[in-house]
Structure formats: C-alpha cells, structure tokens
C-alpha cells in the first residue's frame, strides 16, 4: 500500500504499455533480473553478461523499459546502474510498497489483490 494506505494504480493504457513492453523475452529477462537484484539494482555490464546480447541491443531494450516507467537508471561514476521502478512494479502487481521485491517472489505477495486500473 502507498503511504496514505491506498493501493497504487495505473491508468488502463499505462498498464497496457508496461505489459506490452514486458512481452519481449529480453525485456522480461532484464526486468526479472532487476526485481531479484532489489534496491541495489544492477549495472548495464552485469545485465549484459547475463543476457549475452550486444550492448546496442541491450541499450534499446533498457530504453523501452525506462520509457514505459518500469525501470530507472542512474550514473555512478563510469557505471550506469539500473533498478526497477518500485512504484510501477507495485501498481502492476498489487504488492504493498513496504515489501522488498528481493525478499519474496512477487507472485506470492497479495496475488489475489489486483490494483485498480481506470478505464479510459
């Protein structure tokens, strides 16, 4: 739940865009890696070593995830660090904001509670 006690929600088209971007296997794999990494996130190099795809291809997929609001990036010196946008993640899954994504599998956290999605 959000600090105010309400479950976060996404507009219908925002949720659809997020889910569409996760429809590509590489993007879904990146998202999964970042969820498992928790708040520390992963560097682009770490993600690339797991996926084994060219840096330019990975940059394209990361750009799509950032654009959809599913992840964020920050520069740490020469390293570009990526992490899941927890607010969007929790809005899509219905999980509480105080649950650490790395602590338990998302599909077990409040699976029956789906966040409200407002229709256009």
pLDDT confidence band for 9 (50 / 70 / 90) = low
Note the pTM of the prediction, 2 decimals: 0.70
**pLDDT tens across 86-118, in order?**
888 888 876 554 444 444 454 444 433 444 434
- Extract the tokens encoding 96: 């509480």
Residue 18, C-beta contacts closer than 8 angstroms, at least 6 positions apart = 10, 68, 69, 70, 88, 92
pLDDT at residue 16, rounded to an integer: 86
pLDDT confidence band for 119 (50 / 70 / 90) = very low
**pLDDT tens across 47-72, in order?**
999 999 999 999 999 999 999 999 99
Residue 22, C-beta contacts closer than 8 angstroms, at least 6 positions apart = 28, 31, 70
Distance in angstroms (rounded) separating the CA atoms of residues 12 and 120: 7
Instruction: State whether residue 75 is helix, strand or coil.
Output: strand
Q: 10-93 — its CATH code? A: 1.10.10.10
């Amino acid at each position: 739940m959000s600090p105010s006690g309400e479950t976060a929600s996404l507009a219908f088209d925002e949720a659809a865009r997020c889910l569409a971007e996760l429809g590509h296997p590489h993007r879904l794999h990146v998202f999964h890696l970042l969820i498992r990494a928790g708040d520390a996130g992963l560097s682009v190099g770490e993600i690339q070593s797991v996926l084994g795809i060219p840096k330019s291809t990975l940059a394209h997929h990361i750009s799509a995830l950032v654009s959809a609001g599913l992840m964020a990036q920050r520069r740490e010196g020469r390293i570009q660090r990526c992490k899941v946008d927890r607010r969007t993640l929790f809005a899509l899954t219905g999980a509480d904001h105080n649950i650490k994504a790395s602590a338990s599998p998302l599909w077990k956290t409040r699976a029956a509670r789906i966040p409200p999605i407002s229709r256009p």
